Amino acid sequence: MKHRIIPAIMSGGAGTRLWPTSTDAQPKQFHALTEARSLFAETVARVSGETDALSFAKPIVLCASRHKSWVEAQLTEIDASPSAIVYEPVARNTAAVAAVAAALSAEIDSDALVLLLPADHFIADREGFHATLARAAPLARERIVTLGIDPTRPETGYGYIKNGAALSDGVFAIDSFREKPKREVAEQYLAEGGYSWNAGIFFFHPRTMLEEFFANADIRDHALAALAAAHRNGREIHLDSEHFARARSMPFDIAVMEHTSKGAVAPCAVGWADVGAWDEIWRLATKDGRGNATHGEVVVLDGSNNLLRGEGVKVCVSGLNDLIVIATPEAVIVVPRDRAQDVKQLRELALKPR
Amino acid sequence: MKHRIIPAIMSGGAGTRLWPTSTDAQPKQFHALTEARSLFAETVARVSGETDALSFAKPIVLCASRHKSWVEAQLTEIDASPSAIVYEPVARNTAAVAAVAAALSAEIDSDALVLLLPADHFIADREGFHATLARAAPLARERIVTLGIDPTRPETGYGYIKNGAALSDGVFAIDSFREKPKREVAEQYLAEGGYSWNAGIFFFHPRTMLEEFFANADIRDHALAALAAAHRNGREIHLDSEHFARARSMPFDIAVMEHTSKGAVAPCAVGWADVGAWDEIWRLATKDGRGNATHGEVVVLDGSNNLLRGEGVKVCVSGLNDLIVIATPEAVIVVPRDRAQDVKQLRELALKPR
């Protein structure tokens, strides 16, 4: 018997480090950054169809009200038909959204498992991803299983999860969550083994998950009140803004995972990336013989290992290496690949009213 | 008695190495590149008014027909009123244009001298420039005096003029014209002394100049036929396109200066620059404490000695030195300062139909 899974796709990211492509009006998940289709479209495609062990139901999509037209257009483009699209009138981080997703999922099919995942990740190995879900599914009926990514480098930008006792083949209890570590600590985790990156992908039965909100029950209750009072129009669900605004803004990790005793982690190595900054886009991109990754109308006279992206703008470079050039008709950023993190601050300075 | 001078301003440059700012529709002379006003406007201003020795008459402006609106708008902006604006229906290089300028000048004031100069040069020392003209004026009644620029570096991108015998204080006969030299040869010229850059600025009486067209009289004759058959409308003179098209396309230097025995050179050091490429714009620009020259909306997190120009586009850079970034809503170029010459080829590749 296959595990029935309702994917709940959270499409609320901002992507400020991917400016000027990613903007408030069209954030990163609605752009084609790593593949031919947008991150959102790839995510929807990744959790659809059937495998030997899994049967994906129509997804629930959760997004900001102002991104309605992007969601609709991109769903149409890939011919996907969600069972519900939940519009968030204000941003309230992932805890409140997760509660809505769980309650709505139980309403659609009370026996199905929920796979809660962000719309802006990249996963190279889709089969490995599905195999991890199949392995974790039995435990996901009782526990909240988080996918743990096998660390491939001493990354200081992610939280880590330390494995506890083995619960089943390849699934572990959670010993502890570890905040973004310093470099030396990250290196130690890597050397020691038994640590995963916390990717923010959760797999659970909705009843369990909603019960485990006990430490921050008010967030769940306001979120569910917003769902109960929502304006529904076919598959469209517009959350009630007064109720939803009352839900405290908190990540699901903090609100639930750090309190529950029912957490579990399923470590996996599936070519995951959170597509956070431009240097990562370069790492993930297909490159030419000189290591240049290009998008749009680009002319390279010479130079190597550059990320060059023109969106309706011709990008012309010569004699440069290891550079990031992103050009839109509104703004251009030029930074060395190892300074990709500076984009967030450049964006703030550029958009600051004068 | 003051020397009466009719400036004849040739505004026909293309500025392909200053793409994407300089375009066919709005070439470099109509852009503010080195000062607050455009090169064209600065040139008009440079040859107006009176000095102790000189009296500038209203100029003659010569430009491509398709740049009519730029010329008119920028003349209005600086409140300048030329005696004639000559529109060239096709581009025929400077010999034909010079002949038209000379004939038209004689028609306006047969006794005045003509100062023929390109609209796209920069001259830092206006008083020195006027002093050079005052010194050269007596000889300019008999000869075609070319302004020679004292070389400040072993430039291989310009032609050189070797001084002949002194004709008067600071004016020499021309020993010979020298093509753009190789680096070692340019260094030798600099060490030896007595060489000037050929800036393409000519000072003469129109009758003399038109006579000295003897080696290429057909160019002059077709040009003057185009003027005779021109459509005139107030100060506007639209050259006859059939006649003008018949004039062979040749630079004035080649058509006249290399044949005449009446050439002379007036060397000067007036902070001249031909504003040919972006590295030169950086050299001429006002810079901040880190050596960055910026234009438009620019954000620099750190980095030094860059030329950063945004035209209706925000330009944001971090961690880069000695770079040129020029951004318009159509195209962006990013090249090291010492690769500014590559822009011409980048432009060709970018504009090539696919």
Q: What is the pLDDT of residues A73-122, one digit of tens each?
A: 999 999 999 999 999 999 999 999 999 999 999 999 999 999 999 999 99
DSSP code string of B193-254: --EEEEEEEEEE-HHHHHHTTGGGHHHHHHHHHHHHT-EEETTEEE--HHHHHHS----HII
* Tokens 């730029």 belong to residue: B70
What are the phi and psi torsion angles at B156 (to 5°)? -100, 0
Burial of residue B113 (number of CB atoms within 10 Å: 0-12, 13-18, 19+): buried
Q: State how far the alpha carbon of A189 is from the alpha carbons of A172, A192, A209, A253, B179, in Å.
A: 17, 5, 29, 20, 68
**One-letter amino acid for residue B312 of the chain:** G
Confidence of residue B313 (pLDDT cuts 50, 70, 90): very high
Q: What is the Cα–Cα distance from B7 to B85, expressed in whole angstroms?
A: 12
Residue B90 makes CB contacts below 8 A (sequence gap 6+) with B241, B244, B245
Of B316, B330, B347, the CB nearest to A346: B316
Q: What is the Cα–Cα distance from B347 to B327, expressed in whole angstroms?
A: 13
CA distance B180 to chain A (A): 25
Q: What is the pLDDT of residues A221-247, one digit of tens each?
A: 999 999 999 999 999 999 999 999 999
Q: What is the pLDDT of residues A11-38, one digit of tens each?
A: 987 889 999 999 999 999 999 998 889 9
Instruction: Tell me what pLDDT residue A12 has.
Output: 85
Element (H, E) at A200: strand A195-204
The residue among A22, A278, A299, A316 with the most chain B CBs within 10 A of its CB, best to mutate, is A316
Residues from chain B that touch A299, judged by Cβ atoms under 8 A, are 346, 349-350
CA distance A299 to chain B (A): 6
The token duo for A138 is 């039995």
The token duo for B86 is 């000559």
B331 — contact with chain A (CB < 8 Å)?
yes
Q: To 10 degrees, what angle do helices B93-108 and B217-228 make? A: 50
For chain A, list the domains and their CATH numbers: 3-273 (3.90.550.10), 278-351 (no CATH)
Number of helical (H) and strand (E) elements in chain B, helices listed first: 11, 20
Strands A144-149 and A263-268: parallel
B228 — contact with chain A (CB < 8 Å)?
no
Q: What is the Cα–Cα distance from B70 to B59, expressed in whole angstroms?
A: 16
Of A299, A313, A342, the CB nearest to B318: A342
Instruction: Tell me what pLDDT residue A354 has.
Output: 67
DSSP code string of A317-342: E-S--SEEEEE-SSEEEEEEGGGGGG
Of A313, A318, A339, the CB nearest to B318: A339
A333 — contact with chain B (CB < 8 Å)?
yes
Q: Which residue of B has its CA nearest to A298?
A: B350
CA distance B309 to chain A (A): 11
Of B318, B319, B325, the CB nearest to A332: B325
Q: Of A153, A162, A150, which is closest to residue A183 (Cα–Cα)?
A: A153
Q: To 10 degrees, what angle do helices A68-77 and A39-46 make? A: 60
End-to-end alpha-carbon separation of chain A, Å?
62
Q: What is the pLDDT of residues A286-297, one digit of tens each?
A: 999 999 999 999
Q: State how far the alpha carbon of B327 is from the alpha carbons of A64, A295, A304, B316, B332, in Å.
A: 33, 17, 21, 10, 4
A20 — contact with chain B (CB < 8 Å)?
yes
Q: What is the Cα–Cα distance from A271 to A290, expressed in whole angstroms?
A: 23
Residues from chain A that touch B329, judged by Cβ atoms under 8 A, are 313, 329
ipTM of the complex: 0.86
Residue B136 has pLDDT above 70, yes or no: yes
Q: What is the pLDDT of residues B139-150, one digit of tens each?
A: 999 999 999 999
Q: Which residue of A has its CA nearest to B309?
A: A332
The residue among B22, B332, B333 with the most chain A CBs within 10 A of its CB, best to mutate, is B332
Residue B110 has pLDDT above 90, yes or no: yes
Q: What is the pLDDT of residues B256-288, one digit of tens each?
A: 999 999 999 999 999 999 888 999 999 999 999
Residues from chain B that touch A315, judged by Cβ atoms under 8 A, are 331-332, 334
Phi-psi group of A250: left, alpha or beta (phi > 0 → left; psi -120 to 50 → alpha; rest → beta): beta
Give the pTM: 0.88
Instruction: Tell me what pLDDT residue B354 has.
Output: 67
Q: Say how far residue A127 (Cα) sits from the centre of its chain.
A: 18
Q: Of A29, A126, A123, which is closest to residue A74 (Cα–Cα)?
A: A29
